[in-house]
Amino acid sequence: MASLRDIRKHISSVKSIKQITYAMKMVAAARIKRAQSAILASRPFAGEMDRMIADLYYELDEEDLAGTAAQELFEGRSAGGTLALVLVTADKGLCGSFNTNLLKAAAAWLRENRGRKISVVVVGRKGRDFLHRLKGLDLEIAHEMVGIFPKAGYVHAELLSEAILKIYTELPVESVTLIYNEFKSMISQRIVTDRLLPLKRHILEKDPATTRKAREFSFEPGKTDLLRALLPRHIGAQLYRTLLESQAAELAARMSAMESASKNASELIEGLTLKMNKTRQAMITTELNEIVSGSEALGG
């Protein structure tokens, strides 16, 4: 049986852990409001940019794309080239199944594309460490970005966009796939596996041409110049929204996990306190029995 001193030390340790988990919960709760506001502000812009690129694509003729850098971004390359993966995870743990679910989705994608050459752009320490541990895959970490959460900004999205476009341009990349956690609510996140490039496949998957109505646009100064200006901004906007979604989802997951941990710590403290009281009562009863027995022996 554990001694009273051991039980008291155990209770003290659990109380210290509870203080830490409660503090982490309050910090995440304070940050989630700002992160949620940033998402709500970025979603309409990213959505409208998506629709604008789609509208522009359906107005383009073959000669508008021929020989331009936008042609490969829209049309892609022939099958059999390198596959690019953009994996967005957290920098830290203690956020429930947030990272675990992301790494499972990434592992499933990698198994599906086993045998292909893969170039990875990874955001977050957890994803980077996971990829470094993998063996037996033709996989290269082409770019990594760590330590940006929970203060991800548009500048990080721009740097990420530049790295992805450089990889897509310099390597014979067939497609670029995004895997990240989308913020749904304070208690719910959704794993998203989305195609970022080529844009044609991305547009057709989200907005099939058969559902669109004919529209007439006038372009100033011209389609090619507009494409050159819009495409980097479009990719940057989608990546910025992705970073914000992941950031808010991580904070929500951490807040929920720390709330559960604090609740479990309280229940554990109650159980240990009850055990301590029972142990103390048993010790008192034993001492009383010894006193009574001694008194009877002296009286006899």
Q: What is the CATH number of the domain that holds 121?
A: 3.40.1380.10
Parallel/antiparallel/unpaired status of strands 82-88 and 118-123: parallel
Which tens digit of pLDDT belongs to each residue from 37-89? 888 888 888 888 888 777 777 777 666 666 666 667 777 676 777 899 999 99
DSSP-based three-state secondary structure for 152: coil
| Structural domain harbouring 226 | 21-257
What value does the mean pLDDT take over residues 212-232? 70
Which tens digit of pLDDT belongs to each residue from 156-208? 999 999 999 888 888 888 889 999 999 988 888 899 998 888 887 667 666 65
Contacts of 108 (CB under 8 A, 6+ apart): none
Which tens digit of pLDDT belongs to each residue from 81-135? 789 999 999 999 889 889 999 999 999 999 998 888 899 999 999 999 999 888 7
Whether 281 is covered by a domain: the verdict is no
Q: What is the pLDDT of residue 130?
A: 93
Q: How many domains, in total, are found in the chain?
A: 1
Half-sphere exposure in the Cβ direction for 126 (13 Å, CA):
21
Q: What is the pLDDT of residue 19?
A: 92
Whether 228 is covered by a domain: the verdict is yes
What value does the mean pLDDT take over residues 288-297? 78
Q: What is the pLDDT of residue 216?
A: 67
Answer with the residue of higher pLDDT: 146 or 43: 146
Burial 108-145 (b: 16+ CB within 10 A, else e): ebbeebeeebbbbbbbbbbbbebbeeeeebebebbbbb
Whether 141 is covered by a domain: the verdict is yes
The C-alpha atoms of residue 63 and residue 74 are separated, in whole angstroms, by 13
User: What tokens were used for 78?
Assistant: 């022939």
Q: What is the pLDDT of residue 1?
A: 56
Q: What is the pLDDT of residue 271?
A: 92
Q: What is the pLDDT of residue 177?
A: 93
Whether 99 is covered by a domain: the verdict is yes
Q: What is the pLDDT of residue 251?
A: 93
Long-range contacts of 170-173 (CB under 8 A, 24+ apart): 171/81, 171/82, 171/84, 171/119, 172/77, 172/81, 172/82, 173/77, 173/81, 173/82, 173/83, 173/84, 173/119, 173/197
Q: What is the pLDDT of residue 210?
A: 44
pLDDT band at 215, cuts 50/70/90? Answer: low
Whether 65 is covered by a domain: the verdict is yes
pLDDT at 275 over 60: yes
The C-alpha atoms of residue 81 and residue 260 are separated, in whole angstroms, by 46
Whether 108 is covered by a domain: the verdict is yes
Q: What is the pLDDT of residue 213?
A: 52
Which tens digit of pLDDT belongs to each residue from 9-20? 999 999 999 999
User: What tokens were used for 6?
Assistant: 């051991």
pLDDT at 7 over 80: yes
The C-alpha atoms of residue 139 and residue 123 are separated, in whole angstroms, by 16
Whether 263 is covered by a domain: the verdict is no
Whether 289 is covered by a domain: the verdict is no
pLDDT band at 263, cuts 50/70/90? Answer: very high
- At 218, which amino acid appears? S
